[in-house]
Amino acid sequence: MASVREQKTSWTVRFYDAARRPKTARVTIPKAQFPRERDADREAERLQGLYDYSASGERQFDPWVQDWPGADEATGAGGTTLREAVRAYCRHKRRLGKKDLRGGWNEGTEHRNRSQLEDFAERSGGHRLTRDLTQKDAERFLFRDELAPATKRSYRRTLATFLRWLDDEGLAASAEDLLPPQFKRRQKRKTLVYPNELGALCRVHRRICVARCLRKHAPRTGANSGLARLWMAIAWRFAFYQCLRRAETLQLKVGAIDTRRWQMHVGDEDFLPKGRSEDTIRITPPARPIAAYLTTNAAGHATAPSTFSPRSRPAATTSRSSRPCAELTQATSRYAASPSVAPLSTSPAPRRTACATAGSRTGLTRARATAG
Protein backbone atom coordinates (compact mmCIF):
# COMPACT_ATOMS: atom_id res chain seq x y z
CA MET A 1 0.00 0.00 0.00
CA ALA A 2 1.28 3.46 -0.87
CA SER A 3 2.15 5.78 2.02
CA VAL A 4 1.90 9.58 2.10
CA ARG A 5 4.32 12.05 3.69
CA GLU A 6 3.64 15.79 3.93
CA GLN A 7 6.07 18.33 2.53
CA LYS A 8 5.86 22.11 2.57
CA THR A 9 4.04 22.57 -0.73
CA SER A 10 3.39 19.01 -1.80
CA TRP A 11 2.76 15.42 -0.75
CA THR A 12 5.23 12.62 -1.33
CA VAL A 13 3.68 9.26 -2.16
CA ARG A 14 5.96 6.30 -1.52
CA PHE A 15 5.41 2.98 -3.31
CA TYR A 16 6.94 -0.36 -2.34
CA ASP A 17 7.41 -3.49 -4.42
CA ALA A 18 9.83 -6.20 -3.29
CA ALA A 19 10.16 -7.49 -6.84
CA ARG A 20 11.42 -4.16 -8.22
CA ARG A 21 14.90 -2.64 -8.04
CA PRO A 22 15.00 -0.33 -6.22
CA LYS A 23 12.22 -1.59 -3.99
CA THR A 24 10.73 1.89 -3.42
CA ALA A 25 9.63 4.72 -5.68
CA ARG A 26 8.39 8.21 -4.89
CA VAL A 27 5.93 10.48 -6.65
CA THR A 28 5.16 14.10 -5.74
CA ILE A 29 1.61 15.48 -5.90
CA PRO A 30 0.81 19.19 -5.33
CA LYS A 31 -1.03 20.47 -2.26
CA ALA A 32 -2.89 22.95 -4.43
CA GLN A 33 -5.04 20.13 -5.82
CA PHE A 34 -5.00 17.96 -2.68
CA PRO A 35 -5.09 20.39 0.28
CA ARG A 36 -6.15 17.85 2.92
CA GLU A 37 -4.31 14.73 4.01
CA ARG A 38 -7.32 12.52 3.36
CA ASP A 39 -7.44 13.83 -0.22
CA ALA A 40 -3.81 12.86 -0.66
CA ASP A 41 -4.50 9.43 0.86
CA ARG A 42 -7.30 8.83 -1.62
CA GLU A 43 -5.11 9.86 -4.53
CA ALA A 44 -2.36 7.55 -3.28
CA GLU A 45 -4.90 4.72 -3.06
CA ARG A 46 -6.02 5.41 -6.62
CA LEU A 47 -2.45 5.44 -7.92
CA GLN A 48 -1.74 2.20 -6.12
CA GLY A 49 -4.78 0.68 -7.82
CA LEU A 50 -3.54 1.85 -11.22
CA TYR A 51 -0.19 0.24 -10.48
CA ASP A 52 -1.72 -3.05 -9.31
CA TYR A 53 -4.43 -3.52 -11.92
CA SER A 54 -4.69 -3.33 -15.66
CA ALA A 55 -7.20 -5.08 -17.89
CA SER A 56 -4.63 -5.29 -20.70
CA GLY A 57 -2.00 -6.88 -18.49
CA GLU A 58 0.15 -3.73 -18.49
CA ARG A 59 0.28 -1.29 -15.60
CA GLN A 60 -1.67 1.90 -16.18
CA PHE A 61 0.76 3.78 -13.95
CA ASP A 62 4.35 2.92 -13.01
CA PRO A 63 5.90 5.28 -10.41
CA TRP A 64 9.36 3.80 -11.09
CA VAL A 65 9.39 5.29 -14.59
CA GLN A 66 6.53 7.84 -14.58
CA ASP A 67 5.75 11.06 -12.74
CA TRP A 68 2.34 11.84 -11.29
CA PRO A 69 -0.11 12.52 -14.16
CA GLY A 70 -1.12 16.16 -13.68
CA ALA A 71 -4.66 17.43 -13.92
CA ASP A 72 -4.21 18.62 -17.52
CA GLU A 73 -2.77 15.33 -18.66
CA ALA A 74 -5.28 13.26 -16.69
CA THR A 75 -8.37 15.06 -17.89
CA GLY A 76 -7.39 15.68 -21.49
CA ALA A 77 -9.49 17.74 -23.84
CA GLY A 78 -13.15 17.40 -24.59
CA GLY A 79 -13.87 15.03 -21.69
CA THR A 80 -15.92 15.12 -18.49
CA THR A 81 -14.24 14.54 -15.16
CA LEU A 82 -15.80 12.36 -12.50
CA ARG A 83 -16.39 15.32 -10.17
CA GLU A 84 -18.19 17.24 -12.92
CA ALA A 85 -20.31 14.20 -13.77
CA VAL A 86 -21.40 13.76 -10.14
CA ARG A 87 -22.42 17.43 -9.89
CA ALA A 88 -24.36 17.27 -13.17
CA TYR A 89 -26.09 14.03 -12.15
CA CYS A 90 -27.17 15.45 -8.78
CA ARG A 91 -28.51 18.61 -10.43
CA HIS A 92 -30.46 16.49 -12.92
CA LYS A 93 -32.02 14.36 -10.17
CA ARG A 94 -32.91 17.39 -8.07
CA ARG A 95 -34.65 19.09 -11.01
CA LEU A 96 -36.76 15.98 -11.51
CA GLY A 97 -37.62 15.97 -7.81
CA LYS A 98 -38.77 19.59 -7.83
CA LYS A 99 -41.10 18.76 -10.73
CA ASP A 100 -42.41 15.64 -8.92
CA LEU A 101 -41.26 13.47 -11.81
CA ARG A 102 -40.34 9.80 -11.61
CA GLY A 103 -36.77 9.19 -10.46
CA GLY A 104 -36.37 12.62 -8.85
CA TRP A 105 -34.76 13.29 -5.47
CA ASN A 106 -36.06 15.19 -2.50
CA GLU A 107 -33.68 17.07 -0.21
CA GLY A 108 -33.01 14.10 2.06
CA THR A 109 -32.29 11.72 -0.81
CA GLU A 110 -30.05 14.29 -2.49
CA HIS A 111 -28.00 14.81 0.66
CA ARG A 112 -27.54 11.06 1.20
CA ASN A 113 -26.77 10.06 -2.39
CA ARG A 114 -24.61 13.07 -3.14
CA SER A 115 -22.28 12.25 -0.24
CA GLN A 116 -21.95 8.65 -1.45
CA LEU A 117 -21.20 9.62 -5.04
CA GLU A 118 -18.74 12.34 -4.01
CA ASP A 119 -16.95 9.77 -1.88
CA PHE A 120 -16.81 7.44 -4.88
CA ALA A 121 -15.44 10.24 -7.07
CA GLU A 122 -12.70 11.15 -4.59
CA ARG A 123 -11.68 7.53 -4.06
CA SER A 124 -11.55 6.92 -7.81
CA GLY A 125 -9.83 10.22 -8.63
CA GLY A 126 -12.14 13.16 -9.19
CA HIS A 127 -9.98 14.61 -11.98
CA ARG A 128 -10.18 11.40 -14.05
CA LEU A 129 -12.33 11.18 -17.13
CA THR A 130 -15.55 9.23 -16.81
CA ARG A 131 -14.66 7.18 -19.89
CA ASP A 132 -11.62 5.83 -18.01
CA LEU A 133 -13.71 4.22 -15.26
CA THR A 134 -13.26 0.48 -14.81
CA GLN A 135 -14.92 -2.21 -12.73
CA LYS A 136 -11.93 -2.07 -10.39
CA ASP A 137 -12.95 1.46 -9.34
CA ALA A 138 -16.40 0.26 -8.28
CA GLU A 139 -14.92 -2.75 -6.49
CA ARG A 140 -12.50 -0.58 -4.49
CA PHE A 141 -15.41 1.62 -3.44
CA LEU A 142 -17.76 -1.22 -2.48
CA PHE A 143 -15.48 -3.99 -1.20
CA ARG A 144 -14.40 -2.31 2.02
CA ASP A 145 -14.18 -4.14 5.33
CA GLU A 146 -15.73 -1.26 7.29
CA LEU A 147 -18.99 -1.45 5.32
CA ALA A 148 -21.80 -3.72 6.48
CA PRO A 149 -23.45 -6.03 3.90
CA ALA A 150 -26.64 -3.95 3.88
CA THR A 151 -24.58 -0.77 3.36
CA LYS A 152 -22.74 -2.35 0.44
CA ARG A 153 -26.03 -3.25 -1.21
CA SER A 154 -27.33 0.30 -0.69
CA TYR A 155 -24.15 1.86 -2.10
CA ARG A 156 -24.28 -0.48 -5.09
CA ARG A 157 -27.85 0.61 -5.92
CA THR A 158 -26.84 4.28 -5.76
CA LEU A 159 -23.76 3.68 -7.88
CA ALA A 160 -25.72 1.60 -10.41
CA THR A 161 -28.18 4.41 -11.15
CA PHE A 162 -25.31 6.87 -11.55
CA LEU A 163 -23.40 4.61 -13.95
CA ARG A 164 -26.54 3.94 -15.99
CA TRP A 165 -27.01 7.71 -16.32
CA LEU A 166 -23.41 8.03 -17.51
CA ASP A 167 -24.09 5.29 -20.06
CA ASP A 168 -27.26 7.04 -21.28
CA GLU A 169 -25.34 10.32 -21.64
CA GLY A 170 -22.53 8.60 -23.53
CA LEU A 171 -19.96 9.47 -20.86
CA ALA A 172 -18.92 5.98 -19.81
CA ALA A 173 -19.08 2.33 -20.73
CA SER A 174 -22.09 0.13 -20.03
CA ALA A 175 -23.09 -0.01 -16.36
CA GLU A 176 -23.15 -3.81 -16.49
CA ASP A 177 -19.46 -3.78 -17.46
CA LEU A 178 -18.51 -1.42 -14.64
CA LEU A 179 -20.52 -2.89 -11.76
CA PRO A 180 -19.43 -5.94 -9.77
CA PRO A 181 -21.88 -8.84 -9.34
CA GLN A 182 -24.81 -8.49 -6.96
CA PHE A 183 -24.10 -9.10 -3.28
CA LYS A 184 -25.68 -12.20 -1.84
CA ARG A 185 -28.55 -11.53 0.56
CA ARG A 186 -28.94 -13.74 3.58
CA GLN A 187 -32.19 -15.65 3.55
CA LYS A 188 -34.25 -14.83 6.63
CA ARG A 189 -36.46 -17.44 8.18
CA LYS A 190 -40.12 -16.56 7.94
CA THR A 191 -41.93 -15.84 11.18
CA LEU A 192 -44.66 -18.44 11.62
CA VAL A 193 -47.57 -18.06 14.02
CA TYR A 194 -49.05 -21.09 15.76
CA PRO A 195 -52.72 -20.95 16.79
CA ASN A 196 -52.16 -22.89 20.01
CA GLU A 197 -49.12 -20.77 20.79
CA LEU A 198 -51.36 -17.71 21.03
CA GLY A 199 -53.44 -19.39 23.72
CA ALA A 200 -50.32 -20.45 25.61
CA LEU A 201 -48.93 -16.92 25.54
CA CYS A 202 -52.17 -15.40 26.78
CA ARG A 203 -52.45 -17.91 29.63
CA VAL A 204 -48.89 -17.28 30.75
CA HIS A 205 -49.43 -13.54 30.51
CA ARG A 206 -52.47 -13.82 32.77
CA ARG A 207 -50.36 -15.67 35.34
CA ILE A 208 -47.82 -12.87 35.23
CA CYS A 209 -50.53 -10.24 35.74
CA VAL A 210 -52.08 -12.14 38.66
CA ALA A 211 -48.67 -12.64 40.25
CA ARG A 212 -47.97 -8.93 39.88
CA CYS A 213 -51.22 -8.11 41.68
CA LEU A 214 -50.35 -10.48 44.55
CA ARG A 215 -46.92 -9.00 45.15
CA LYS A 216 -46.37 -7.08 48.32
CA HIS A 217 -46.67 -3.31 47.81
CA ALA A 218 -47.75 -3.93 44.21
CA PRO A 219 -49.65 -0.99 42.66
CA ARG A 220 -53.38 -1.62 42.37
CA THR A 221 -53.93 1.08 39.74
CA GLY A 222 -51.88 2.78 37.08
CA ALA A 223 -49.95 1.63 34.04
CA ASN A 224 -47.69 -0.73 36.03
CA SER A 225 -50.44 -2.60 37.83
CA GLY A 226 -51.20 -6.20 36.94
CA LEU A 227 -54.84 -5.46 36.16
CA ALA A 228 -53.92 -2.70 33.72
CA ARG A 229 -51.70 -5.09 31.78
CA LEU A 230 -54.44 -7.63 31.20
CA TRP A 231 -55.42 -5.59 28.15
CA MET A 232 -52.36 -6.93 26.33
CA ALA A 233 -53.80 -10.44 25.99
CA ILE A 234 -56.92 -9.02 24.33
CA ALA A 235 -54.78 -6.88 22.06
CA TRP A 236 -52.66 -9.85 21.04
CA ARG A 237 -55.68 -11.95 20.15
CA PHE A 238 -57.32 -9.17 18.18
CA ALA A 239 -54.07 -8.36 16.34
CA PHE A 240 -53.58 -12.06 15.58
CA TYR A 241 -57.04 -12.54 14.09
CA GLN A 242 -56.92 -9.25 12.14
CA CYS A 243 -53.24 -9.42 11.08
CA LEU A 244 -52.50 -6.02 12.59
CA ARG A 245 -49.07 -4.61 13.23
CA ARG A 246 -48.12 -3.57 16.74
CA ALA A 247 -48.44 0.17 16.09
CA GLU A 248 -51.75 -0.31 14.28
CA THR A 249 -53.12 -2.21 17.28
CA LEU A 250 -52.00 0.38 19.81
CA GLN A 251 -53.30 3.30 17.75
CA LEU A 252 -56.70 1.73 16.98
CA LYS A 253 -59.42 4.21 17.91
CA VAL A 254 -62.65 3.22 19.63
CA GLY A 255 -64.85 4.50 16.81
CA ALA A 256 -62.89 2.64 14.14
CA ILE A 257 -64.76 -0.64 14.80
CA ASP A 258 -68.12 -1.06 13.10
CA THR A 259 -69.96 -4.09 14.52
CA ARG A 260 -72.97 -3.56 12.26
CA ARG A 261 -70.99 -4.10 9.05
CA TRP A 262 -68.23 -6.08 10.80
CA GLN A 263 -65.43 -3.97 9.46
CA MET A 264 -62.74 -1.74 10.95
CA HIS A 265 -60.77 1.29 9.81
CA VAL A 266 -56.98 1.33 10.25
CA GLY A 267 -55.37 4.76 10.36
CA ASP A 268 -56.68 8.30 10.72
CA GLU A 269 -55.50 11.88 10.55
CA ASP A 270 -53.18 11.33 13.53
CA PHE A 271 -51.69 7.97 12.54
CA LEU A 272 -50.89 6.35 9.19
CA PRO A 273 -49.96 2.67 8.86
CA LYS A 274 -46.76 1.44 7.29
CA GLY A 275 -48.19 1.80 3.78
CA ARG A 276 -48.77 5.52 4.47
CA SER A 277 -52.47 5.20 3.66
CA GLU A 278 -55.64 4.44 5.60
CA ASP A 279 -57.31 1.08 5.14
CA THR A 280 -60.70 -0.54 5.77
CA ILE A 281 -60.71 -4.31 6.35
CA ARG A 282 -63.26 -6.94 7.27
CA ILE A 283 -63.43 -8.24 10.84
CA THR A 284 -62.90 -11.99 10.73
CA PRO A 285 -65.35 -14.25 12.61
CA PRO A 286 -62.90 -15.20 15.42
CA ALA A 287 -62.24 -11.51 16.11
CA ARG A 288 -65.91 -10.46 16.24
CA PRO A 289 -66.50 -11.37 19.92
CA ILE A 290 -63.49 -9.25 20.86
CA ALA A 291 -64.69 -6.40 18.66
CA ALA A 292 -68.16 -6.54 20.26
CA TYR A 293 -66.60 -6.57 23.74
CA LEU A 294 -64.40 -3.58 22.92
CA THR A 295 -67.25 -1.49 21.53
CA THR A 296 -69.56 -2.42 24.44
CA ASN A 297 -66.88 -1.74 27.03
CA ALA A 298 -66.09 1.61 25.42
CA ALA A 299 -69.73 2.79 25.32
CA GLY A 300 -69.94 6.31 26.69
CA HIS A 301 -66.15 6.74 26.54
CA ALA A 302 -65.65 7.76 22.92
CA THR A 303 -62.94 10.21 23.96
CA ALA A 304 -60.55 7.45 25.04
CA PRO A 305 -57.18 7.81 23.28
CA SER A 306 -57.39 4.35 21.71
CA THR A 307 -59.16 1.02 22.08
CA PHE A 308 -56.27 -0.60 23.91
CA SER A 309 -55.39 2.42 26.04
CA PRO A 310 -57.57 2.32 29.19
CA ARG A 311 -57.96 5.57 31.05
CA SER A 312 -56.00 4.08 33.96
CA ARG A 313 -52.91 4.09 31.76
CA PRO A 314 -51.36 7.45 30.82
CA ALA A 315 -51.39 8.25 27.12
CA ALA A 316 -47.59 8.64 27.16
CA THR A 317 -47.18 4.94 27.96
CA THR A 318 -49.45 3.72 25.17
CA SER A 319 -46.63 2.24 23.12
CA ARG A 320 -44.47 0.98 25.97
CA SER A 321 -45.02 -2.74 26.11
CA SER A 322 -41.44 -3.98 25.78
CA ARG A 323 -40.99 -4.89 29.45
CA PRO A 324 -44.17 -7.00 29.72
CA CYS A 325 -43.30 -8.67 26.43
CA ALA A 326 -39.85 -9.54 27.77
CA GLU A 327 -41.36 -11.04 30.91
CA LEU A 328 -43.85 -12.93 28.79
CA THR A 329 -41.14 -14.39 26.58
CA GLN A 330 -39.13 -15.57 29.58
CA ALA A 331 -42.15 -17.11 31.27
CA THR A 332 -43.34 -18.78 28.09
CA SER A 333 -40.11 -20.74 27.83
CA ARG A 334 -40.85 -22.20 31.28
CA TYR A 335 -44.62 -22.71 31.18
CA ALA A 336 -45.82 -22.92 27.58
CA ALA A 337 -45.72 -26.28 25.86
CA SER A 338 -44.16 -26.66 22.46
CA PRO A 339 -46.72 -26.28 19.65
CA SER A 340 -47.75 -29.55 18.06
CA VAL A 341 -50.02 -28.37 15.26
CA ALA A 342 -48.95 -27.21 11.82
CA PRO A 343 -48.04 -23.51 11.68
CA LEU A 344 -49.92 -20.95 9.65
CA SER A 345 -48.48 -20.55 6.19
CA THR A 346 -48.14 -16.78 6.35
CA SER A 347 -46.88 -14.11 8.71
CA PRO A 348 -49.74 -11.84 9.86
CA ALA A 349 -48.21 -8.37 9.89
CA PRO A 350 -47.03 -7.88 6.28
CA ARG A 351 -50.23 -9.31 4.75
CA ARG A 352 -52.92 -7.80 6.92
CA THR A 353 -55.42 -6.95 4.21
CA ALA A 354 -55.10 -10.20 2.29
CA CYS A 355 -55.56 -12.32 5.41
CA ALA A 356 -58.45 -10.28 6.75
CA THR A 357 -60.43 -10.25 3.52
CA ALA A 358 -59.69 -13.75 2.25
CA GLY A 359 -59.21 -15.62 5.52
CA SER A 360 -62.52 -17.43 5.44
CA ARG A 361 -61.95 -18.64 1.86
CA THR A 362 -58.43 -19.97 2.47
CA GLY A 363 -59.20 -21.73 5.73
CA LEU A 364 -56.89 -19.40 7.64
CA THR A 365 -59.72 -18.12 9.80
CA ARG A 366 -60.80 -21.61 10.80
CA ALA A 367 -57.24 -22.45 11.77
CA ARG A 368 -57.02 -19.37 13.93
CA ALA A 369 -60.32 -20.10 15.60
CA THR A 370 -58.67 -23.02 17.40
CA ALA A 371 -56.44 -20.68 19.41
CA GLY A 372 -56.90 -21.33 23.11
Q: What is the mean pLDDT of the chain?
A: 70
State the helix-helix crossing angle for 195-214 and 322-335, rounded to 10 degrees.
110
- For 320-347, write each residue's pLDDT tens digit: 334 444 444 444 434 333 333 233 333 3
Question: What is the residue-wise DSSP string for 178-218?
Answer: HSPPPPPPPPPPPP---HHHHHHHHHHHHHHHHHHHHSTT-
Per-residue pLDDT reduced to its tens digit, 352-369: 433 333 333 333 333 333
Residue 240 pLDDT class (50, 70, 90 cuts): confident
For residue range 200-231, list pLDDT tens digits in order. 777 777 777 777 777 755 555 554 555 556 66
DSSP output for 66-134? -----HHHHH-SS--BHHHHHHHHHHHHHHHHHTT-TT---HHHHHHHHHHHHHHHHHH-TTSBGGG--
Compute the distance between CA of residue 15 and CA of residue 47 in angstroms, rounded to an integer.
9
For β-strands 24-30 and 10-16, DSSP reports them as antiparallel
Pairwise CA distance, residues 98 & 125, whole Å? 30
What 3-state class would DSSP assign to 44? helix
| Of 228 and 260, the one with more pLDDT | 260
Per-residue model confidence (pLDDT) at position 369: 33
Q: Are 104 and 98 in contact (CB under 8 A)?
A: yes
| Residue 71, pLDDT score | 43
pTM of the model: 0.40
Residue 124: what pLDDT?
Answer: 86
pLDDT greater at residue 52 or residue 139? 139
| Count of alpha carbons within 13 angstroms of residue 321, beta-carbon side | 22
pLDDT confidence band for 254 (50 / 70 / 90): confident
Q: Is the pLDDT at 117 greater than 80, yes or no?
A: yes
Residue 135 · residue 180 · CB < 8 Å: yes
* Residue 307 pLDDT class (50, 70, 90 cuts): low
Domains of the chain: 1-69 (no CATH), 75-187 (1.10.150.130), 197-368 (1.10.443)
Tally of helices (H runs) and strands (E runs) in the chain: 14, 6
Cα–Cα separations (whole angstroms), residue 336 to 42, 191, 230, 255: 58, 18, 18, 35
